[in-house]
Amino acid sequence: MTIEAKLEELGITLPQAAAPVAAYVPVVVSGGVAYVSGQLPFVNGELVKGRLGESVPLEDGIAAARACGLMILAQLKAALGSLDRVEQVIKLGAFVNSTGEFVDQPRIANGASELMAEVFGDAGKHARSAVGVPVLPLGAAVEVDAIVAIRAD
């Protein structure tokens, strides 16, 4: 089954790949690896803003991380032409805008991690870091980046 068919089966429609908000490119491919810049959570076209442990509930944070994962997939598709070129999701880095008392960053990051496993199966299982930060670009609640092994054209 192609990844496009898998997305359809899961009822997932990828968002339009977002343009960079500063001086960088969304994806760099080098030596069979795609490095995806940090992606922000857009839900229904709106950026999910706020801080976990303060103004953003846990479930909304998990959904925001999933939205970051969807944007990672959109960026990969735009850069590679097809998600079927993904060989293995190697690592995700999740940054959670959170208070000093908030300790559920790993649960938030699961929103993106579980998406990768749903879409790619075993090839979506990856190493990961999940860290709390005091602020993210544009006031985003979550940001996720990725390192992905890819097949040649």
Give per-residue pLDDT as tens, 93-150: 999 999 999 999 999 999 999 999 999 999 999 999 999 999 999 999 999 999 999 9
44 Cβ neighbours under 8 A, 6+ residues apart = none
Which DSSP string corresponds to 86-115?
EEEEEEEEEEEEB-TT---HHHHHHHHHHH
Has residue 63 got a pLDDT over 90?
Answer: yes
pTM equals 0.97
The answer to whether residues 126 and 89 touch, using CB atoms and an 8 Å cutoff, is yes
pLDDT number for residue 134: 97
Domain residue extents for the chain: 3-150
Rounded mean pLDDT of 67-73? 98
Rounded mean pLDDT of 58-78? 98
Region 3-150: CATH code: 3.30.1330.40
pLDDT number for residue 21: 85
pLDDT number for residue 152: 86
